[in-house]
Structure 1
Amino acid sequence: MTETFSVQDSVELAIVERGGFVESRHAGSAIVLGPGGEELTRLGDPDALVLPRSSLKPLQAVAVVTAGAELTGERLALSTASHAGTDRHVAVVREMLSAVGLTEDHLACPASWPSDAATRDVMVRDHFDQAAVRHNCSGKHAAMLTACVATGWDVSGYLDPAHPLQLHIREVVERLTGEKIAATVVDGCGAPVHAMSLTSLARGIHRIGTSSERSPFALHRVAGALVRTVRENPWAVDGPGRSDTLAIERFGVFSKLGAEGVQIMVAPDGTTVALKTLDGSLRAAPLVALSLLAGAGAIAPGNVAEFAAHPLFTVTGGGQPVGRIRATV
C-alpha cells in the first residue's frame, strides 16, 4: 500500500497549550525553499509521499487556463479556491458557468452546505437544500468545465482520470513539480488528486509563486497572473475570517491549505513552504508555515506573533481565552 511518512519520521511542528498545560502536539514534515528555489530547511521526511489535496489547486488552475479556460480576476481566483460557500463566492461560480453556457447542474462535485456558518444558518432558516455550487471546490470544478467547453472536450465525465482535461492537468503537474506522479486517487470533491512528495509540491508551488506575467513562456505567464489575482482577491480563495484569506491579507503571501493538514505558502520574495501535519489537523498549519517563513527571513517575526493572537488560534475554557495554539519550529 502506498503511504505517507511515519510517526517515527515526523517532528513536532506545534503544540496546543491550555492554562500552561501542553494538551496536544502536532507532528509532521515540512520543507522550505529560498527565493531561488534552494533548499533552506527540512523537517521530518519531506521526500515521503503526501496527498496535497486542495494544495494541488494552484497547479490544477494553471493547467485549466493553459487548456483554454479564459479566466481573469475573481473567476481566476475562484479556480484555485477552497471557498466558504458564501453568496458572493457562489455568484462568481455561477457567472463562470453561465459564461460558457452551462449551469450548476453540470458540476460533478457533491452537494454541500457552505462552511461559512452565517450563510449556512440563512439557508437552513429559509429551507434551502445543500447544493454542489456551495461545495468549497465548486470554483475549481467550474474552471475545469470552462476549459472543456473552450477546448471542445466532453463536459460529462470531466473528472475521469482518463478524460483529456485530466490528462492535461497531470502533464502540467509533472512539468511544474519536475517529478512523475506516484499515484492517483479520488479527492473529496471527486476530482483526481495526485500523490507526490512535499519536496516536489514545494518545487511546483515555488515555480508558480515566482513566475512573471512577462515571461516568454505561456505557462509562467498564467502562473504569474494567478498569483497576482489571488493576492488581489484574498476573500475569494477562502472566506472572511478564515486562515488563507487572513494570511494573504496580512502578509501578501500566496497561501493555500489542503485537507488532512497540508499547507503551502509563498512569501512575496519567493520563499516557499510546504508542510503536512501527520494527524491531518489544519488548526496549526498556517502558524507553522508563517513561522517557517519568518525563520527564513521572508516575513517579520513580530507580525507572525501578532497574527498568532487571532481568535482562530485561541484555546477557550468557559467561553474565555485560556491558552493558544503555538508553532514550535
Structure 2
Amino acid sequence: MTRGLSGELRPAGAVELAVVERSGLRESSHSGAAVVLDPGGEVLAEHGDIDALLYPRSTLKLMQAVAVRRAGARLEDEELVLSAASHVGTSEHVRVVRSILDRAGLTESALQCPADWPSDPAARRAADRPERVFMGCSGKHAAFLLACSVNGWSTEDYLDPGHPLQLLIRRTVEDFTGETVLHTGVDGCGAPVHAVTLRGLARGIGRVVRGADDDSARLAEAIRRFPWALDNRTVRTVIEELGIVAKSGAEGVFVAGEEDGTAVAIRVLDGSQRPLAPVALSLLAQYGTVHPADAERVRLAVTEPVLGGGVPVGELFPVV
C-alpha cells in the first residue's frame, strides 16, 4: 500500500487551472492541482502537487457508501445514491432519507448531522424550521445508522472514529485509494473525514466508477440512473448529459470518472466551486473518451456566466 507525502496543498504546489475574463481583460484566476488517471491508475496528466494531502470532503461519500454496503446495508437504487449524496432537501430527497431511517427502525432524532434549512429554494420557502433531515448529508447519516442497525452496533456514537463502522470506512478508503490514512479530521456534518492525496482520490474514484467490486459497481450504476438524488444542478447536468459519474466537495474539490475507470480529481486552492466542472470536462475531453464537442456543450451549460448589465461580457475558461 502506497503512502502519500505529508503536508497539505500550498500555493507553491499550485498551478493556474482556470481564468476569468471580463470585457477582454483577465479579471481573476483559480489555482490548484489536478490529475487524470487511466483505468489502471497510471497518471495521464498532472498539474500541480498531486501528492499533497487534502480533505476530500463530500467526494469521500462515494467510498463511504461502498463501505456501508460492505457492512451489510444492502441499499439499492435511489436509496443507495442518497447514501452518497449532498442533496438539496427537496421533498423527494427527504422522502428517500426517511425510507432509509425506517429500514433502520429509527427516527430523525437518531441523526447526528446538524439541523439545516433545505438548500433548494422552493423547499426552503416551504420549510418551517431547520431540521436534520434537510441537511445535505442526512442520507449518508441515515445509511450509517442502517449499517449499525444491521450489525447490532451502537447508534449513539456512530460518528466516533473508533466505532466499528468508521473503522470499516477507513479500511475501505485505504483499499480504494491505495494509501494509508495518515490524518483524520471532522467534516462539516460531524463525520470523520480522512485526508488523502489528489492522486489517491482519483485512484479511489476510478475504482468506484469502473466497479472494482459488486458494491462499487452497484453504486456507480445507481448514480447514472438517479443523478437527481446525488448533488447540485451542475453535477446532475454532467452526469445526465455525459453518462460519467461526478461528485463535488466543499472547499473546491471535484471528482469525475468514466465507466472504464479513467478518473480526474481537482482541488482549487481558494475553495471555489465555479471552475471545477469546467476544468474536469476539459481534462476528460483531452485524456478520456468524452468528445470535445460534448464537453464544450456541457461546459457552457454549467459555467457561471460573467455578466455586465445583465448580459454576457466575458467567460470563465480552463487553461490546463
- Give the TM-score band, short-chain normalised: over 0.9
CA contact (8 A) 1:83 1:136 kept: yes
SS in 2 for 1:313: coil
CA contact (8 A) 2:210 2:258 kept: no
Corresponding residue number in structure 1 for 2:210: 210
Corresponding residue number in structure 2 for 1:9: 13
Corresponding residue number in structure 2 for 1:147: 147
**2 CA distance for matches of 1:323 and 1:146?**
48
SS in 2 for 1:222: helix
CA contact (8 A) 2:228 2:236 kept: yes
- Confirm or deny that 1:163 pairs with 2:163: yes
Cα RMSD of the aligned pairs, angstroms, is 1.3
Corresponding residue number in structure 2 for 1:301: 292
Corresponding residue number in structure 2 for 1:221: 214
Corresponding residue number in structure 2 for 1:65: 69
Deviation per CA, 1:194-253, whole angstroms, max 9, x where unpaired?
0110111111111111126xxxxxxx10000000000000000014xx111111001111
Corresponding residue number in structure 2 for 1:215: none
Corresponding residue number in structure 1 for 2:263: 272
CA contact (8 A) 1:29 1:43 kept: yes
Per the normalisation by structure 2, the TM-score is 0.95
**2 CA distance for matches of 1:160 and 1:69?**
19
**2 CA distance for matches of 1:122 and 1:320?**
32
SS in 2 for 1:8: helix
Shift of 1:322: 2.2
How do 1:17-56 and structure 2 match up within 5 A?
Answer: 17-56=21-60
**2 CA distance for matches of 1:323 and 1:145?**
47
Corresponding residue number in structure 2 for 1:176: 176
Structure 1 residues 245 and 311, CA, compared in 2 at 3 Å: closer, same or farther?
closer
CA contact (8 A) 1:209 1:227 kept: yes
CA contact (8 A) 1:269 1:298 kept: no
Partner residue of 1:255 out of 228, 235, 246: 246
Shift of 1:320: 2.3
**1 CA distance for matches of 2:84 and 2:288?**
27
**2 CA distance for matches of 1:190 and 1:230?**
24
Corresponding residue number in structure 2 for 1:77: 81
Shift of 1:311: 5.8
Deviation per CA, 1:1-32, whole angstroms, max 9, x where unpaired?
x7421112111111122222221100001110
Shift of 1:177: 1.2
Structure 1 residues 204 and 162, CA, compared in 2 at 3 Å: closer, same or farther?
same
**2 CA distance for matches of 1:275 and 1:297?**
15
Corresponding residue number in structure 2 for 1:216: none
Write the letter of the residue equivalent to 2:166. Answer: Q
Corresponding residue number in structure 2 for 1:188: 188
Identity rate, percent: 50
**1 CA distance for matches of 2:310 and 2:103?**
47
Shift of 1:312: 4.2
Corresponding residue number in structure 1 for 2:226: 233
**2 CA distance for matches of 1:312 and 1:92?**
30
Corresponding residue number in structure 2 for 1:217: none
Q: Which runs of 4+ in 1 moved over 4 A?
A: none
**2 CA distance for matches of 1:271 and 1:233?**
21
Shift of 1:167: 0.8
Shift of 1:318: 2.4
**2 CA distance for matches of 1:143 and 1:20?**
49
Write the letter of the residue equivalent to 2:132. Answer: A
CA contact (8 A) 1:261 1:276 kept: yes
SS in 2 for 1:310: helix
Per the normalisation by structure 1, the TM-score is 0.93
Corresponding residue number in structure 2 for 1:197: 197
- Confirm or deny that 1:286 pairs with 2:277: yes
Count of matched residue positions in the alignment of Structure 1 and Structure 2: 315
